[in-house]
Homo-oligomer: A and B are copies of this chain.
C-alpha cells in the first residue's frame, strides 16, 4: 500500500462549502485510500455532513473553528484578522507537519498571502507562482504563473520554468517535459527585456530544463510544449481568455444544433459523442491552481466548484505529496544554481541573483 497522506482541508472555503468539501473528500478518499483528512471549520455544520459520508468518517478528524475568511476579505486583512479561520489553521497544519498538504476553495488572494506568510518560500526561490493544467490537442499542458506576480524579472521566469518542469514531471508523469516562454513571436528580438534575458539563460546547457524556446498564444492549445511559462498578468489573461473562448464555442455549437429538426435529431443521435466531448473539456478536470515555490504543498480549488471538481484538486495535492514534489524542486534548484554560477564568468545578468541564496 502507498504511504499515508494526510490532507488539511479548509472546510469553509468555496461557494458550496462545507457540503462540497466533505463530499469532495469522500470521492477523493475512494480514489486514494491512503488519504486521511483534518477538516477545519464549524463542527456543528461539518459533523452531520461527515456522519453521512461513509468511510470518510473513520479517516477524518474535525478541528472546530468558527472564524472564516470571506471572499471580500483583502489579503492584508486576512493576514491580520483571520488567524483562527479554517483557512489559516488548515495551512498551519502543514507548517506544523501534521498534514502533508492543504486544499482550499476559498479567497485566492488571501490563501496566497497567508500560505506565503505561514509556509514561507522554499530555499533559494524568490517568488511563488500559481500553476494549473489545461487541455490541449496532444493532452495536457501546465501553465504558470496564473496571477501571483503581476510583474516579474528574468530570474522569476527562470524559476517558474524549473518549478513547472518538476510539476509536469511529477503530476503529469511526463519523462522529459518541454518548456516554452510565452511571447509575441518566436524571434529572439521579440518581447520584453525580462523575457529576452530569461530566454538567454534558459537556452544554456546543463540547466535542469528541456527548453523549447519562445512560443505564441496559439501554441498553448496546440500543445507545442508541456510547460508554458509567463508572468502572472499575461497568464491570468490567457487562462481566462481560454475559458471565455471555450464558453463561446459551446454556446455556438448549442445554437447551431437548435436551428432545425434535422439538427436536433442529429444532436440526439450524437449524444454519446457530446458526453465524450464534454468530459474532455470539463472544467472540473482542470480545477485547481497549485501554489508552487512555497515550503509546503498548497492547492487552490476554484471557488465555484462542486464536489467532483474539489476531488480533482485533492487528486493534484495527493500526486504532489506522493512524489515529494517540493524535494524535487529543491534538488532542481540546486542544479540550476550550480549551472548558473558555473556560467557566471561569462557575465550573465540573470545568473547573478539566482545564484545568491
Give residues in A with beta carbon < 8 Å to B.
135-137, 147, 150-151, 182, 184, 190-192, 216-222, 230, 232-234, 236-249, 251-253, 255-257, 259-260, 262-263, 265-274, 276-277, 280-281
Shortest Cβ gap from A251 to chain B (Å): 6
Which of B136, B150, B217, B263 interacts with A191 by CB under 8 Å? B150
Evaluate contact between B253 and A245: CB separation under 8 angstroms: no
If A136-B248, A241-B238 touch, whether A233 touches B265 (CB-CB below 8 Å) is no
Evaluate contact between A216 and B191: CB separation under 8 angstroms: no
- Chain B residues near A260: list those with CB within 8 A: 272-273
CB closest chain-B residue, reference A259: B273
Which of B192, B247, B256 interacts with A276 by CB under 8 Å? B256
- Chain B residues near A221: list those with CB within 8 A: 241, 244-245, 247-248
Which of B135, B184, B219, B253 interacts with A147 by CB under 8 Å? B184
Which of B259, B266, B268 interacts with A267 by CB under 8 Å? B266
If A184-B150, A236-B184 touch, whether A248 touches B274 (CB-CB below 8 Å) is no
CB closest chain-B residue, reference A224: B244
Evaluate contact between B247 and A249: CB separation under 8 angstroms: no
Give the complex CA separation of A248 and B217 in angstroms: 12
Evaluate contact between A266 and B256: CB separation under 8 angstroms: no
If A151-B192, A184-B147, A257-B270 touch, whether A240 touches B262 (CB-CB below 8 Å) is no
- Chain B residues near A252: list those with CB within 8 A: 277, 280-281
If A267-B270, A273-B263 touch, whether A237 touches B217 (CB-CB below 8 Å) is yes
Evaluate contact between B243 and A257: CB separation under 8 angstroms: no
Shortest Cβ gap from A279 to chain B (Å): 10
- Chain B residues near A151: list those with CB within 8 A: 192
Which of B237, B239, B263 interacts with A272 by CB under 8 Å? B263
Beyond A241-B241, A252-B281, A269-B269, list 7 extra A-B contacts (CB 8 Å): A137-B247, A216-B236, A217-B240, A237-B238, A245-B249, A257-B273, A260-B273
Evaluate contact between B277 and A256: CB separation under 8 angstroms: yes
Which of B135, B192, B236, B262 interacts with A248 by CB under 8 Å? B135
CB closest chain-B residue, reference A237: B217
CB closest chain-B residue, reference A241: B217
Shortest Cβ gap from A290 to chain B (Å): 18
Q: Which 8 A-B pairs have the closest CB atoms?
A: A217-B240, A266-B270, A266-B269, A221-B244, A218-B244, A217-B241, A263-B273, A221-B248
Evaluate contact between A192 and B233: CB separation under 8 angstroms: yes
Which of B222, B234, B242, B246 interacts with A234 by CB under 8 Å? B234
Shortest Cβ gap from A280 to chain B (Å): 6
- Chain B residues near A257: list those with CB within 8 A: 270, 273
Give the complex CA separation of A276 and B255 in angstroms: 9
- Chain B residues near A281: list those with CB within 8 A: 249, 252
- Chain B residues near A192: list those with CB within 8 A: 150-151, 233
If A268-B266, A272-B263 touch, whether A241 touches B245 (CB-CB below 8 Å) is yes
CB closest chain-B residue, reference A257: B273
- Chain B residues near A265: list those with CB within 8 A: 266, 269-270
- Chain B residues near A147: list those with CB within 8 A: 184
